[in-house]
Every structure is written in structure tokens, then in C-alpha cells.
Structure 1
Amino acid sequence: MHPEIEDLSKTIQEAADLLLSVGELHWGNWLAKNAALISASDFRGVEHVLTAFGGMGSINDLVIHPMNGHSVNEKQISMVNEKLEALLSSVAIKSKKLYNEEVDALRGT
């Protein structure tokens, strides 16, 4: 497997694991599914993970907090959200790069 694809899959899975650990099942399972697709060299995973970003109700709007039903204490809120933000930023950058490379390859440029 191409190292960038493997790296993306691992980063997505890390974000999924973080979300699942605090009880965020919707986005945690959603990311885990895409990590598995990408790990299996299925490009649909890259395309699908990009749809999580932007717009109302996107993963960008997610805030890990007990008021949102997440299993974190007050001392963990800032750290968990900062880690999530860093992981999601990395996922977005890596996914866009791979997506653009694939589109360029299909165009023959």
C-alpha cells in the first residue's frame, strides 16, 4: 500500500478511536468505515471522508463535551477537542491531496 494512503487510513482510524472512546458513535463509526475502505485501497473512502467537512452539521461542528452526551470530564474537554481538531485537520489535508492526485491522474496531467 502506498505510504500516504496507509498514513491517511491510520489518521482517520485514530480520530475514529478518539471519538468512540468518548461515546461519539455516529462520527466514530462513520470515520472507522472510511478508514477500512481506504485501508482496502478503495478510493470511495477518500471521496466519502471529504464529505464530512463543511456545511451545517458537519464533523467540523462537533464539540466533545458532557453536555453533548460525551464521556469526558471538565478537565479533559479542552485536550480532547484540541486533539480532535488536529486529527481532523490532518485528515482533511491528506484526503484532499490524495483526491487531487487521483483526479489529476485520471485527467492524464
Structure 2
Amino acid sequence: MQLHPEIADLADLLRNVEDHLAKHDETGWAGMVGRCRVAVEKSDAWGLHRFLAMFAGMGSLNDLVLQRDGTMLTTENDALREMLTKAWTLATKLQRDDVAQARGE
């Protein structure tokens, strides 16, 4: 089954985030994003909603700062923020579309 282009784009973004986090030893976050990606690739809305939930509250994915040996990784954090912003923007659009479709709009 071929995914809707926007869903495929979100899955690709999540894979990039997952890989970036794993590369910088954030395996816990990488695993959580990976589980969301797998669900999204199956067109399971759980992955979409769970990914968006990762941005809520203290200690969220939004608060993550990549560092090595106590030094903040500026370029790597900038790249992560860019990927997260794109993924969050697309995920919120898909969530709005899903809600509108459920309402019959």
C-alpha cells in the first residue's frame, strides 16, 4: 500500500530525527521517535498523536539539548530544531485534517 504523500513525508522526517538522535547518543528519544515512525508508516494515527505528545510539558523533546562532554553541540542542535519544526508542523496539519475528516468537514 502506498502512503499518502504527506504521511510518507512525515515518516521520512521522523526517520531523520530518529537517526540524528541516535547518532548523538539520545537512544531513548530515538527509540520513542522510531516507534512513532513505525506507526505512521502503517497509517496508524497513534504515531502521529504520540509524536505530538512528546512536545508537551517539562522534560519534553522540545527541551532536549544535544551535548558532548558537557559542551552544547550548536550545529547539531540547530539541525535537530529544524527537523523537529518541520515534523511538528506537518504532524499538526495531518492531525487537523484527521479531526476535520472525522467531523465530516
Tell me which amino acid in the other structure corresponds to 1:98. Answer: L
User: Which of the residues 12, 15, 18 maps onto 1:16?
Assistant: 18
Per the normalisation by structure 2, the TM-score is 0.93
Superposition deviation, residue 67 in structure 1: 4.5
Per the normalisation by structure 1, the TM-score is 0.89
User: Which of the residues 78, 82, 107 maps onto 2:78?
Assistant: 82
Q: How many angstroms apart in 2 are the aligned matches of 1:78 and 1:56?
A: 21
**Pairs aligned (count):** 103
Q: How many angstroms apart in 2 are the aligned matches of 1:87 and 1:62?
A: 13
- Is the counterpart of residue 55 in structure 1 residue 57 in structure 2? yes
Tell me which amino acid in the other structure corresponds to 2:14. Answer: I
Counterparts in 2 of 1:67 and 1:57: CA distance versus 1, 3 Å: farther
Q: How many angstroms apart in 2 are the aligned matches of 1:63 and 1:88?
A: 13
Q: How many angstroms apart in 2 are the aligned matches of 1:67 and 1:51?
A: 29
Q: How many angstroms apart in 2 are the aligned matches of 1:21 and 1:53?
A: 21
Tell me which amino acid in the other structure corresponds to 2:17. Answer: A
Q: How many angstroms apart in 2 are the aligned matches of 1:55 and 1:88?
A: 16
Q: How many angstroms apart in 1 are the aligned matches of 2:87 and 2:65?
A: 17
Match of residue 71 from structure 1:
none
Deviations 1:39-60 (A, max 9, x none): 1111111011000113101001
Superposition deviation, residue 65 in structure 1: 0.5
The 4+ residue runs of structure 1 with deviation greater than 3 A are none
Q: How many angstroms apart in 2 are the aligned matches of 1:83 and 1:32?
A: 18
**Identity between Structure 1 and Structure 2 (%):** 30
